[in-house]
A and B are shown apart, each in its own frame.
Chain A
Amino acid sequence: MTAEKAAAQSTQHPVTLQSIVVLILGWLLPGAGHFMLKKWWRGLLLFVSVVAMFALRIMMQGKVYTANTGDILDMLGFVGDVGSGILYFAAQIMDLGRGAIHIAVADYGTKFIIVAGLLNIMAAIDAHHIAIGKKA
């Protein structure tokens, strides 16, 4: 993309303070960005989807990754996990993510939380796009 095209796009969809707040809020609490934009049903469905995947992870005893293990795959897992925002920090504080490697479903649970985080990032970016007028 050329610099002119990028400049034209940024003037067409200007980034506002509200769009930044929506992005951060949407990341911290699933669906909150959409709630702030009064997209109630979308926000509710996103909240239920991300929180349900997170709750299932806890029930399946999946692992919650931490930032500084030195293993590149663990770091990638951490990036996925931290996308869940406040849910991730709550799990860390409550020490919920030890992971039970002897249970087969625990591995599914580990994947569930990574995907929940990535889906939440998609939802937060979607809220940002709505806020800047790029999407209805």
Chain B
Amino acid sequence: MHLSHFSAALVFALFASIVFGITQRNDARSMLRYGAYCFALFVGGVIAGGWFLWLLKH
């Protein structure tokens, strides 16, 4: 199986966010919101990190 770096990061973000949401909040609505927040931070971090490295290279 050949995942790209980005798709591997997306899969990682998805599953880690699910577990974070379930374990760090008490009710279903807060779990969903916190999971989505973590997912956004993971993906945002990947994109920001990617652009930062691009800027370093150029």
Contact = CB atoms under 8 A, between A and B. Distances in A.
Interface of A: 42, 45-46, 48-50, 52-53, 56, 59-60, 105, 108, 111-112, 115-116, 119, 122-123, 125-126, 135-136
Interface in B23-53: 23, 26-27
Contact of A115 (B3, B16, B26, B27): B16
A119 B15 contact: yes
Given A46-B19, A53-B15, A105 B26 contact: no
Nearest to B21: A45
Nearest to A58: B1
Nearest to B31: A42
A69 B51 CA distance: 38
Give the dominant DSSP class at B's interface.
helix
Contacts of A45: 18, 22
Interface residues of B, number: 16
21 contacts: A45-B18, A46-B22, A49-B15, A49-B16, A50-B19, A52-B15, A60-B1, A60-B3, A105-B3, A108-B3, A111-B12, A112-B8, A112-B12, A115-B12, A115-B16, A116-B15, A122-B20, A123-B19, A123-B23, A125-B23, A126-B23
Contact of A119 (B3, B5, B19): B19
Contact of A136 (B11, B19, B23, B26): B26
A116 B16 CA distance: 8
B2 interface: yes
Given A46-B22, A53-B11, A122-B19, 12 more contacts: A46-B19, A50-B15, A52-B15, A56-B1, A108-B3, A115-B16, A122-B23, A123-B19, A123-B22, A123-B23, A125-B23, A136-B27
